[in-house]
């Protein structure tokens, strides 16, 4: 007796062959869909990791994760790319897109640099950057600027979403 793995497939009915073919197609579609979901998640992770750059090494991994979550929230809800750069000296702003909110922190000198899209500056007024500087001053003095930065981002979020919902009739 010879072993032939294909012999039982020839004896199947047309319906069983059709069902096997459809199930095989479903497996390929499922694998393709899972691949695209994995690729989307990996791309999202790359985007959020590139939003935060801590050259000073002052942020813990939990703090970085919180800032990444905030960057994702800004991007998904408002369409604003949050770019956060932390350095021991004055960080230079990179070339920004029209919808990028740049926040630079000099962790040793206690400086905050904010470059926001024109529509945010126009909406919040010219005194908003000064208000953020005043907000951060006590946090820089007590060396708890990561907490102050998180609260500053919350303040920006509240102001922008308040303008977004309250400004329309």
Question: Does residue 17 sit in the same domain as residue 95?
Answer: no
Domain CATH code at residue 157: 3.10.310.50
Average pLDDT rounded to a whole number, residues 121-126: 74
Higher confidence at residue 43 or residue 139? 139
Q: Which of 156, 92, 155, 91 is nearest to 121 (CA)?
A: 156
3 in any annotated domain: no
Joined tokens for residue 132: 């953020």
Question: Does residue 37 sit in the same domain as residue 108?
Answer: no
Average pLDDT rounded to a whole number, residues 125-152: 88
Question: Does residue 122 sit in the same domain as residue 81?
Answer: yes
Query: Given this model, what pLDDT does residue 33 score?
Result: 94
Joined tokens for residue 140: 């820089």
pLDDT, tens only, 54-78: 888 888 889 888 888 888 888 888 8
Q: Structural domain of residue 125, as residue ranges? A: 51-166
The pTM of this model reads: 0.68
1 in any annotated domain: no
Cα 104 from Cα 90, distance rounded (Å):
8
pLDDT, tens only, 9-59: 566 788 888 998 999 999 999 999 999 999 888 887 777 667 788 888 888
Cα 42 from Cα 60, distance rounded (Å):
22
77 contacts 160 by C-beta, under 8 angstroms? no
Average pLDDT rounded to a whole number, residues 124-153: 87
């Amino acid at each position: 007796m010879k072993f032939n793995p294909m012999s039982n497939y020839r004896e199947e009915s047309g319906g069983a062959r059709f069902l096997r073919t459809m199930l095989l197609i479903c497996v390929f579609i499922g694998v393709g869909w899972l691949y695209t979901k994995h690729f989307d998640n990996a791309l999202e992770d790359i985007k959020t990791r590139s939003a935060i750059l801590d050259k000073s090494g002052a942020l813990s991994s939990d703090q970085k994760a919180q800032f990444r979550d905030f960057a994702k929230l800004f991007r998904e809800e408002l369409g604003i790319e949050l770019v956060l750069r932390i350095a021991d000296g004055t960080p230079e702003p990179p070339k920004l897109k029209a919808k990028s909110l740049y926040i630079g922190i000099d962790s040793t000198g206690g400086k905050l640099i904010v470059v926001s899209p024109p529509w945010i500056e126009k909406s919040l007024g010219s005194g908003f950057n000064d208000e953020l500087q005043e907000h951060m001053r006590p946090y820089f003095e007590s060396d708890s600027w990561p907490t102050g930065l998180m609260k500053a981002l919350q303040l920006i979020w509240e102001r922008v979403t308040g303008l977004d919902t309250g400004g329309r009739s």
